Structure formats: C-alpha cells, structure tokens
Amino acid sequence: MSLDNRPVFTGGCQCGAVRFRIEGALGRASICHCRMCQKAFGAFYAPLVSVEVDRLRWTRREPRRFRSSNHVLRGFCETCGTPLTYEAPDGLALAIGAFDDPSTIAPEVQFGGEAKLAYADHLADLPMRETIEDGAEISYLADIRSLQHPDHDTDPKDPT
C-alpha cells in the first residue's frame, strides 16, 4: 500500500529492463481473442487489465511501441520481447501476466469472440502436469537456474 492507503501494483518484463508501478485501483480485467491480440502476445488470447494512465509510472525503461493499427500501439520490452501494453485512444491496458502478482487480477469479460480459437474453450479440460514431474525425463531441470527478473522491484545496480 502507498502512504495514503491506495493499493500499489508493480510488474515488468521478463528481463527487468522495463518495470511499472500503479498507485490506485485497476480497471476491468479481460481476455481478448481478436487476431491482433493473438499475434501481439503470440498466444491464444491476450490477458489485459485497464489502467488509468495518470496512475501508471514506468520506473525503469519505457516499453518500445509497435503501431498495430492507425489507432492502437502495442508496447513490449525491446530487450526480451515481453508484451506489456495495449494503448488505444480511449485508454491503456497492461498485460496481466506481467504483473508481479497476477493472481488477484481475474478476467471478468472476453472480447474479440469472432476470432476465438475453438479449443480455447477446452484448455481447462487438458491433462495437467507440474514442472517437477518432468524432472526425471528432462535432465537439465535438475540444475536449472532462472535468469528471469524476480517478481518484485530491485536495485537497478543489482538486478537479482
């Protein structure tokens, strides 16, 4: 929480070059199935939460932007490629997975239904495994070390 008790949300890209901080409540969380969002996220759909622009600060580098249409910019980390923003004339949204704690940002609505991949409705039915279960078959998992930026702000001089 910030000094005046407004909630604070932080997050950033996988390498930590781009970090963001929001003071105050987030807007509506959604997933978008549209073809533009599939491409921009390299995924079945885009998980996004709207944010008031004046509550958002980029605390390290800003994202680089790709203009995906005459009205929309897509922000991403130019070092590691993490998708970060959807920026339209009527507002900005951040990628939910880029937050340090995405667990509380549950989507409430779906958009872009015309492009929805049919199997997107059945993902929850797929068999589930945990990473550790594959340890015996995938030998490199035994001594794997993450180089991903941790899920909290760090001293820029000491990124671990």
Contact mark string toward Zn ion, 106..125, x via CB under 5 A: ------x-------------
The least CB distance from residue 109 to Zn ion, in Å, is: 12
The least CB distance from residue 111 to Zn ion, in Å, is: 6
Residues numbered 25-44 forming contacts with Zn ion, rule: CB under 5 A:
32, 34, 37
Residue with Cβ nearer Zn ion (135 or 150): 150
Please report whether residue 13 would count as binding Zn ion according to CB under 5 A.
Answer: yes
Instruction: Please tell me the distance from the alpha carbon of residue 118 to that of residue 125, in angstroms, as a whole number.
Output: 13
Please report whether residue 98 would count as binding Zn ion according to CB under 5 A.
Answer: no
Sheet holding 91-95, edge to edge: 64-67, 73-76, 83-88, 91-95, 46-51, 29-32, 109-111
- Of the candidate spans 13-21, 87-95, 120-128, 129-137, the one that interacts with Zn ion by CB under 5 A turns out to be 13-21
Residues numbered 58-77 forming contacts with Zn ion, rule: CB under 5 A:
77
Q: Exposure pattern of 111-138 as b/e (b: 16+ CB <10 Å)?
A: bbeeebeeeeeeeeeeeeeeeeeeeeee
Instruction: Please tell me the distance from the alpha carbon of residue 88 to that of residue 94, in angstroms, as a whole number.
Output: 12
Residue with Cβ nearer Zn ion (117 or 141): 117
Instruction: Please tell me the distance from the alpha carbon of residue 38 to that of residue 47, in angstroms, as a whole number.
Output: 10
Residue with Cβ nearer Zn ion (37 or 94): 37
Please report whether residue 92 would count as binding Zn ion according to CB under 5 A.
Answer: no
**Can you give the binding site for Zn ion, defined by CB under 5 A?**
13, 15, 17, 32, 34, 37, 77, 79-80, 112
